[in-house]
């Protein structure tokens, strides 16, 4: 049996996420990281109770949830064993140097389901980001992108109303929004992007088929046209076992001494 993580992730009793689901997320993360490998025994109910300070009922519910997900098998008298997870598609890898996704490759290797598209008054934050008057209307679209049939990312895009009207009738499930903007005569010229971590809320957990509270990669991006006008803001939440970023670096000599410098590619690499 694998030794429990010496520094386990503490449970958050104030988050609103059930304790058993938090345990599911932690144990799933250990499986994805290889700390718990296929064939190895998962800590039993008593060990889970001791490690996370929960009741036997909570521990049992967490292990049963993992079994229902197909990540473990529970055998009476033998304990709980990690199952191979060969059904998951190979993770898509993108260079962290690139600001924009290789939409052509994404379009060929993934599928998109549009969950919602509507025009709404811009909130204060959205209006400020898109440099609009507060209350100006924007188009908000919600999509889920799947890789190999598995939901990979949850995307929320917001664009000014006048731009949204120019692409009305276009199928967001067939053509990436970035390409639709360019086809509509909007010259996309630059973008700023941030990458951080977050967890799945109830809505996102349903869309991505993960437990609530699951760790996700969060990417926020603001796209500008050739006149420096903000034309799109996008928030993407990725399942970390299906999408990862990588960066190529080389050792160089700078004024401050030896340091690392990224090797920016001519295009984004999505494998």
Q: pLDDT tens for residues 216-232?
A: 899 999 999 999 999 99
The domain 19-82 is placed in CATH, from the list 3.30.420.140, 1.10.3720.10, 1.10.10.10, 1.10.260.40, at 1.10.10.10
At CA 210, angle to CA 208 and CA 216, rounded to 5?
A: 75
Does the domain formed by 92-262 have CATH 3.40.1410.10? yes
pLDDT value of position 65: 86
Q: Tell me if 99 sits within 8 A of 191, measured CB to CB.
A: yes
Position 94 scores a pLDDT of 55
**pLDDT (0 to 100) of residue 254:** 75
- Label the pairing between strands 257-262 and 249-254: antiparallel
pLDDT at 86: 56
pLDDT of residue 130: 96
What residues are paired with 233 via a beta bridge?
158, 222
Residue 36's pLDDT is 86
Instruction: Please tell me the pTM assigned to this model.
Output: 0.68
Q: Where are the domains of the chain?
A: 19-82, 92-262
Q: What is the pLDDT of residue 227?
A: 93
Buried b (16+ CB within 10 A) or exposed e, 236-262: bbbbebbbeeeeeeeeeeeeeeeeeee
Q: How far from the centroid of its chain's Cα atoms is residue 101's Cα? A: 14
Write out residues in the chain with pLDDT < 50, as ranges.
Answer: 1-8, 95-101, 103-104, 265-271
Rounded CA separation 160/123 (Å): 12
Phi, psi for residue 143 in degrees, rounded to 5? -135, 160
Per the structure block, which two tokens stand in for 226? Answer: 């050739």
In tens, the pLDDT along 1-22 reads 444 444 445 687 777 778 888 8
**What whole-number distance in Å separates Cα of residue 127 and Cα of residue 85?**
43
Q: How far apart are CA 207 and CA 4, in angstroms?
A: 31
**DSSP 3-state assignment of 255?**
coil
CA distances from residue 225 to 88, 130, 186 in whole angstroms, order as listed: 37, 12, 7
């Amino acid at each position: 049996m694998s030794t429990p993580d010496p520094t386990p992730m503490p449970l958050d009793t104030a988050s609103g996420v059930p304790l058993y689901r938090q345990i599911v997320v932690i144990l799933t993360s250990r499986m994805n990281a290889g700390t718990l490998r296929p064939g190895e025994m998962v800590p039993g109910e008593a060990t889970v109770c001791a490690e996370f300070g929960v009741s036997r009922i909570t521990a049992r519910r967490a292990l049963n949830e993992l079994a229902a997900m197909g990540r473990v098998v529970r055998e009476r008298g033998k304990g709980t064993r990690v199952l191979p997870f060969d059904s998951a598609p190979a993770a898509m890898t993108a260079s962290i140097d690139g600001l924009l996704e290789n939409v052509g490759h994404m379009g060929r290797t993934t599928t998109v389901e549009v969950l919602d598209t509507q025009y709404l008054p811009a909130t204060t934050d959205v209006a400020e980001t898109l440099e609009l008057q507060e209350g100006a209307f924007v188009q908000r679209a919600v999509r889920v992108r799947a890789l190999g049939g598995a939901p990979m990312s949850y995307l929320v895009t917001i664009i000014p109303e006048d731009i949204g009207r120019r692409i009305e009738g276009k199928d967001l499930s067939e053509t990436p929004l970035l390409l639709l903007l360019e086809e509509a005569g909007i010259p996309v010229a630059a973008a700023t992007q941030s990458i951080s971590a977050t967890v799945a809320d109830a809505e996102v957990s349903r869309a991505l088929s993960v437990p609530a509270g699951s760790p996700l990669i969060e990417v926020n991006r603001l796209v500008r046209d050739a006149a420096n006008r903000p034309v799109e803001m996008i928030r993407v939440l990725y399942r970390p076992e299906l999408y990862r970023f990588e960066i190529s670096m080389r050792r160089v000599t700078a004024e401050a001494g030896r340091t690392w410098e990224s090797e920016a590619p001519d295009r984004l690499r999505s494998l």
